Amino acid sequence: MVGLRIHQGKTSVNQHAPLNQQVSVAIAPSSRKYNEGYMPGFGNDFETEALEGALPVGQNSPQRCPYGLYAEQLSGSPFTAPRSANERSWLYRMRPSVRHIGQFVRIDYPLWRSAPDRARSPLPLGPLRWDPTPIPTTPDIDFLSGLRTMTTAGDVCAQTGFAAHTYAVTRSMGDDYFYNADGELLIVPEIGRLRFFTEMGVIDIGPGEIAVIPRGVKFKVLVLDGPGRGYVCENYGAKLTCPERGPIGANCLANRRDFLTPVAAYEDRDGVACRIIVKWCGEFHAAELDHSPLDVVAWHGNYAPYKYNLRHFSPVGPILKDHADPSIFTVLTSPSETQGTANIDFVLFPPRWLVVEDSFRPPWYHLNIMSEFMGLIEGVYDAKPEGFLPGGMSLHNCMLPHGPDADAFYRASAAHLEPEKLTNTLAFMFETRFPQQVTTYAAELPTLQASYPNVWKGLRRHFDPARVSGTAISVLSTWLTL
């Protein structure tokens, strides 16, 4: 007969076993300090309860739920989707969501646009770049009113494509709540910390982190350390997921254990004037409530919001020669019906080592079927060392040439190549298969750099049929001294 002595946790102990037959067992805590309040993993079947016993055992929808709660399913995929792609969660809440709506009235957020945006941009075709937009000094701008659409792509009603937004926020949402029926939101802070109080738990993020709020999940945004500024990708298409690694194998890139989903949390607020706002097919609708809709006491499933620390990204890259394709830096992808062609890729350019030999180390010059919207969270982007600032943006659309500016080209071409660590950098890209249409708001911003195409004007002709490879470096070195 064996007894157990437990250092942590609960279990039954055989008090009658002889002492020489007792076994000392150490049980791990449920979470580590860095992820306290969250459950690690990506796409897991989670379960969490804010009140012990609130989750039914062995079934989803009992005749009478514990604590007088209602059972409600939130489906992020069709019922008949393959099990590997089927996404749903069961929520146990004070009121079903039919009580979290009312007589809707149409409201307007005129600078939040959806695809296809019928307002034609006055800008001619070409590469575009913007300086950071100053944060307003007025104290009454919440996350919804502070969101501005820069580009749209695809069709919101066909559930394809996306929109790229910026946000600037100076106050919390208070008694307003929101959910997006058009798509999921990927939020990338650049300044300030925000709290996303969702119906499935609380997510806090700041610069260097991202949050993803699935389609249909209710939430409000609180300012923790403000004001705040950042970027938002509104994904109309297939839900974001981790990309396949292929020959890379089982590790690196964004490891699933580093994604964090919040534990259950709820508001018990009755008799207060609240408002639920819904975005549906590009339009906004609001209804008055007398209670908070964030009333989920427990839930289980695999359709839930999450956060990710971008500094946990484990990049891979070339270790002998040439610059690899930027797809090796994909954090999350929204696949399309065409294999290998993304509805959206979220791509990160983090600090990393450059070690290739006898190679041009910055990104090469390029024309691409995909369209690229870039932002900078901190530091400097190596292909554009001047003029691309944290909080700024650039757009290189489908089949428009782009690449390093003249200064980056000549410096990289003349550099003495030794192992070099890129630090002080954190850039990202929203890349899509669809051409991105610039909104009127973005086209008329005073931060638009009208002279941006001039960054390539310093690229000279160096072709000389009488000169073979190996002698050009001295010519380029001479050019740098001019």
pLDDT, tens digit, 9 for 90 and up, residues 41-78: 999 999 999 999 999 999 999 999 999 999 999 999 99
Are 141 and 271 found together in one domain? yes
Query: How far, in Å, CA of 6 to CA of 168, rounded?
Result: 51
Q: What is the pLDDT of residue 226?
A: 81
Are 301 and 422 found together in one domain? no
In a domain, 43, yes or no: no
Are 401 and 262 found together in one domain? no
In a domain, 300, yes or no: yes
Are 370 and 453 found together in one domain? yes
Are 362 and 284 found together in one domain? no
Q: Is 323 a catalytic residue?
A: yes
Contact 99, 131 (CB under 8 A): no
Query: How far, in Å, CA of 374 to CA of 383, rounded?
Result: 12
In a domain, 39, yes or no: no
Q: What is the pLDDT of residue 29?
A: 67
In a domain, 399, yes or no: yes
In a domain, 44, yes or no: no
Exposed / middle / buried, residue 283 (Cβ in 10 Å: 0-12, 13-18, 19+): middle
Q: What is the pLDDT of residue 475?
A: 45
**CB-side exposure of 75: number of CA atoms within 13 Å?**
7
CA distances in angstroms from 314 to 236, 248, 310, listed in the order given: 28, 12, 9
Are 23 and 151 found together in one domain? no
Cβ neighbour number for residue 136 with a 10 Å cutoff: 14
Q: What is the pLDDT of residue 17?
A: 53
Contacts of 293 (CB under 8 A, 6+ apart): 95, 97, 100, 177, 199, 218, 274, 276
In a domain, 112, yes or no: yes
Residues of the chain with pLDDT under 70: 1-24, 26-32, 469-482
Q: Which of 100, 291, 323, 462 is catalytic?
A: 323
User: Domain end: 283, 310, 337, which one?
Assistant: 310
Are 342 and 298 found together in one domain? no
Exposed / middle / buried, residue 80 (Cβ in 10 Å: 0-12, 13-18, 19+): exposed
| Domain carrying residue 17 | 1-30
In a domain, 42, yes or no: no
Are 341 and 356 found together in one domain? yes
Number of independent structural domains in the chain = 3
Are 331 and 462 found together in one domain? yes
Q: What angle do CA 437, 136, 439 make, to 5 degrees?
A: 10
Q: What is the CATH number of the domain that holds 93?
A: 2.60.120.10
In a domain, 104, yes or no: yes
- Give the pTM: 0.92
Are 306 and 443 found together in one domain? no
Query: How far, in Å, CA of 318 to CA of 252, rounded?
Result: 14
